[in-house]
Amino acid sequence: MAAHVIEEARRCLQCKKPLCRLKGCPIETNIPEMIRLFLAGQTVEAGRMLFENNPLSVVCSLVCDHENQCEGNCIQGKRKDAAAVQIPSIEHYISEFYFDKIKIERAPDTGQRVAIIGSGPAGITIAVKLAALGYRITIFERMDKVGGMMRYGIPAFRLSKKILDRYQVKLREMGIHFRPNTAIGGALHLDDLFNDGYDAIFIGTGVWRPRRPHVKGESLGNVHYAIDYLQNPDAYDLGDTVAIIGAGNSAIDVARTVVRQGSGNVTLYARRRRIAASQRELDYAAVDGIEIQQGMAIKEFTEEGPLLTPRIYDDEGNLIREEEPVLMKADSTIIAISQGPKDKIVNTTHDLKVSDKGLIVVDEQGRTTREGVFSSGDVVIGAKNVVLAVKYSKIVAKAMDEYLTAKRNAQ
């Protein structure tokens, strides 16, 4: 592994205008500097730089859409008979090497408490940034462990749960309190947190409500939602033939998990001719023996399998006609067409505005319409990815620090 990474690092051209960073990386990781430090024997310094820029660097190196981001913009990959530098492999090696060495110096205790609701990428980012600034942090998580959608929505073959377990240990070492199995909006509400002396609250609850196609048969016993399935695949007995409605990256995560759970015939059905999943994910699906059928819209769910309407498109992707629905025999069907936010917090909190999609409305700094409450991540921007959650949460952490500092100085 190390020799491969070193060889790849040596292929970096150290571009004066590195498109891998400026165009490819949503969080603008300084990739050339990372590689320069690594090759100079300063791996700890490279890891420190990565972590300070992106506390979830070790995760992003595994789950980002690299072919359309850093690696996809590498100049080496644009050259004839050449391949892009495998940037994520280098980043992961460095981040993994540095992770257990992380020692974050905390600023003096401000005496102010911050509640963080949700321990996904947004919540972890806010917790790390504000704890380092001297704030007393408590994370409230409705599940039993840290990670949010990273733990319960990304399969283990893409992201090892051991990495997230190490984050839980690291957060504890930073003095961050963790309250598992605690859903705000149930026994405790936002008002309770303010009444107990929290000076600011961050909402990073993600999107856990399955998006429904709203067709007949969704409640049948052989029909399931992707986000529910991924949380505990072992709880499901799907049979040998499984149909999956959807063709994004999450749908492929489901399909590849289903195959690993023992089902022998797995087919993805995409409504449109265009497939939303990345080419890399499609390649993995192919080698796992997963079939994909395009232009198949769900009409109805039945106990024999989904009833699908074939859609015929022209060469430009315009719909020409729909044909008679066809029954696709399947033991089970999984709906994998994205997710939306749950509304527990919103329904139990006054003055918290949400959009027509149920997403929390914020300004550019993540301030919600309620004083002292901030938000970012998927619950604000919809189901996206880890790196975008981190990117916006860094902005919000700075805004929260400014808010808390002003509040402290006013007392």
- Token pair of 200 as six digits: 């600011």
Give the structural domain span for 366.
113-209+342-410
Same domain, 219 and 75: no
Query: Structurally, how many domains does the chain consist of?
Result: 3
Residue 107 maps to a domain = no
Residue by residue, DSSP assigns 104-149 as PPPPPP---EEEEE--SHHHHHHHHHHHHTT-EEEEE-SSSSTTTH
Residues 198 and 165 in one domain: yes
- The angle at the Cα of 316, spanning 313 to 321, to the nearest 5 degrees, equals 20
- Residue 103's CB is within 10 A of a number of other CB atoms, namely 8
Tell me, yes or no, whether 349 and 203 share the same domain: yes
Structure tokens belonging to residue 94 = 């460095």
Residue 105 counted as domain residue: no
Residue range 301-318, pLDDT digits in tens: 999 999 999 999 888 778
CA–CA–CA angle 218, 229, 347 (5° rounding): 70
Please report, as a single letter, which amino acid is at residue 142.
R
In a domain, 172, yes or no: yes
Residues 239 and 279 in one domain: yes
The C-alpha atoms of residue 176 and residue 133 are separated, in whole angstroms, by 12
Asked whether residue 277 falls in the same domain as residue 325, the answer is yes
**Residues 364, 368, 373, CA angle at the centre, nearest 5°?**
120
Whole-number Å distance between alpha carbons of 407 and 372: 10
Residues 6+ apart with CB under 8 A from 171: 124, 127, 128, 131, 139, 146, 178
156 lies in the same domain as 176: yes
75 occurs within a structural domain: yes
CB-count burial class (<10 Å; 0-12, 13-18, 19+) for 2:
exposed
Percent of all residues in the chain with a pLDDT value above 90, rounded to a whole number: 79
Query: What does residue 12 show for φ and ψ, rounded to 5 degrees?
Result: -65, 135
CATH label of the domain that carries residue 304: 3.50.50.60
Q: Residue 122 and residue 142: Cα distance in Å, rounded?
A: 15
Q: For residue 355, is it within any domain?
A: yes
The three-state secondary structure class of 91 is helix
Of 337, 356, 378, the domain-final residue: 337
Of 99, 122, 153, the position where a domain reaches its end is 99
pLDDT of residue 273: 78
DSSP code, position 359: P
pLDDT of 162 higher than 70: yes
Domain termination site, one of 71, 99, 127: 99
233 in a structural domain: yes
For residue 317, how many other CB atoms are within 10 A of its CB?
9
Buried b (16+ CB within 10 A) or exposed e, 128-148: bbbbbbebbbbbbbbbebbbb
Q: What is the mean pLDDT of the chain?
A: 93
**Whether the predicted model's global pTM rises above the 0.75 cut:** yes
Is the residue at 104 inside a domain?
Answer: no
Say if residues 338 and 383 touch (Cβ distance below 8 Å): yes
Is a pLDDT exceeding 80 seen at residue 137?
yes
Q: In Å, what is the CA distance from 379 to each residue of 25, 181, 227?
A: 22, 19, 15
pLDDT at residue 347, rounded to an integer:
67
Does 371 map to a domain? yes
| Claim to verify: residue 188 and residue 247 sit in the same structural domain | no
Going by their DSSP bridges, the two strands 265-269 and 241-245 should be labelled as parallel
Both 127 and 200 in a single domain?
Answer: yes
Inform me whether the pLDDT recorded for 247 exceeds 80.
yes
Please list, in sequence order, all residues whose beta carbon lies within 8 angstroms of the beta carbon of residue 387, skipping any fewer than 6 positions away. Answer: 25, 26, 27, 54, 56, 60, 64, 69
On whether both 40 and 56 belong to a single domain, the answer is yes
Average pLDDT value for residue range 193-200: 97
Residue 67 belongs to domain with CATH number? 1.10.1060.10
Instruction: Mark whether 217 and 312 lie in a shared domain.
Output: yes
How is residue 102 written in tokens? 């992380």
Task: Judge if 125 and 68 occupy the same domain.
Answer: no
Which pLDDT belongs to residue 362? 94
**Do 323 and 350 fall into the same domain?**
no
